[in-house]
Amino acid sequence: MNAADPISELDAVVARSRDAQAKYEAEGSQERYDRAAQAIGWAIMEPGRNRALAELAVETTGLGNVPDKIIKNYRKTLGLLRDIQGVVTCGVIRDDPETGITEVARPKGVVGAVVPSTNPAATPANNIINALKCGNSIVVAPSPKGVACCELLLEFIHAEFAKIGEDPELVQMVPAPGSKEKTQRLMETCDMIVATGSQNNVHRAQTAGTPAVAVGTGNVTVIVDETADLAAAAEKIRASKTFDNATSCSSENAVVVVDVLREAFIEAMEKAGGALVDDEASVVASLWPDGHLNRHVIAQDADKMLSALGLEGQVPEGTEYIAVPTSGIGPEHPLSGEKLSRVLALYGATDFEDAVRIARDIQLHQGAGHSVGLHSTDPSRPMMLARAIPTSRVIVNQAHTFATGGSFTNGMPFSLSMGCGSWGDNAIDENVHWKHFLQSTKIVREIPPREPSLDDIFSDYWETAGK
């Protein structure tokens, strides 16, 4: 190998990963897979290491804040470990005498994980746990800003592996410095890609010629209807919108409020730390000064965000986020898209039907397939949204960021990667979780014949249409 050749260097990493995975599978057991997953979990959850990773993430990426990243690293990992506890991923996973089929769990092989700078520790840890729980090895491709955090995470994981005698070659990363060429090569030579982050990365993953699990664009829209508990809705929106400085793809980007409660909602919002800024043109000019999102606003603390937008002294003390009234939707109206900041677009609707129309239009512009939210006490309305909007998730009366990717108070799998179905150009419409890192071999035995008669199949049809 030419040491100066970055592609050869990457190929060597993948080759070592493939050798390690083959041994891991051949000598694997459920106990071993579970122990490896636990080791990875403790590598990021141990308090001192969690804080070190959170601090390094903020220092090197300039995104989010340390307290929330500590919470995210902890809760996302704990929730995932709960989800996979007791899950069978080695040996027989189903044995059905009626069909004569025995299903045997098999790993995918070498997983190539493309991860974003917004969650440079939590997302790779999530992928690494899922991969090793299912008998795979993994090579992580961090974003350029996330390299240092990924290196430290792997250092912690390998330290835990040393305690249990596990092979460190099972968990590797693209050699620094990262590059598009190395990541592309990884995607072409691994056995499975899991891609989270920019849609450019997702597109490249889905066209690399390797089976890919990928995610769509987030641009969450939440409806607040006339039956909502406004105080609860306002507090949940605040908590969700401000968490980790809106780095999450599940952070609210637009709220649609029915007109009859507009003033009451604004009052509740202001009590919960939001501020109404009724100057769309000025905010847009400051948020997109050169046609691109202002890096001094993206994922920043409230004070830095307000300063970058020129709003110091123009909003109440203690303002945590701003809401900007708007009505436009589409490319010419950037507030209708994802903002990755503590900035919320506020839309008005004549009634619930109009609110659904607005939410649908926003999703069709950006974020189709990801998720929408609803604050309502009308039990019929979640189903109305589920039928009307191109979305994979309808989050009801919850803080959206905490609910979409799994919560201890709902049944969604813990994940940092949201599949968005065909609406979002994805093959899956689920939260990426352990089952996407597993495949199976089916042993098929002969059983007594189960051939139906024509009458068994067509009797109801013949009664209606005749023969």
Of 298, 357, 351, residue with least CA distance to 329: 357
**Distance between start and end Cα atoms, the chain:** 72
Question: Which tokens sit at 446?
Answer: 């002969």
Look up residue 206 and give its amino acid.
Q
Q: Are 257 and 348 in contact (CB under 8 A)?
A: yes
Helices 180-189 and 6-26, axial angle in degrees (round to 10):
30
Secondary structure of residue 42 in the 3-state scheme: helix
Look up residue 451 and give its amino acid.
E
Please state, in angstroms and rounded to a whole number, the distance separating the CA atoms of residues 280 and 212: 39
| 268 contact partners, CB below 8 Å, separation of at least 6 | 230, 231, 233, 234
Of 130, 136, 46, 29, residue with least CA distance to 433: 130
Please state, in angstroms and rounded to a whole number, the distance separating the CA atoms of residues 144 and 142: 6
Residues annotated as catalytic (active site), given as ranges: 249
What Å distances lie between residue 428 and 106, 213, 248, 373, 418, CA to CA?
Answer: 20, 7, 19, 20, 9
Residue 351: phi, psi to the nearest 5? -160, -175
| 426 contact partners, CB below 8 Å, separation of at least 6 | 202, 214, 215, 216, 369, 419, 420
Question: Which tokens sit at 252?
Answer: 């609210």
Task: Starting at the earlier edge strand, list the strands of the sheet with 91-96.
Answer: 91-96, 101-107, 438-444
Pairing of strands 343-349, 220-224: unpaired
DSSP 176-206: SSP-HHHHHHHHHHSSEEEE-S-HHHHHHHH
Please state, in angstroms and rounded to a whole number, the distance separating the CA atoms of residues 120 and 142: 7
Q: Across 259-331, where does the E strand assignment appear?
A: 274-276, 321-325
The residue whose two tokens read 């189709």 is 368
Q: How many residues does the chain have?
A: 467
Please state, in angstroms and rounded to a whole number, the distance separating the CA atoms of residues 260 and 339: 27
Name the CA dihedral angle for 438, 424, 218, 72, rounded to a multiple of 10 degrees.
0
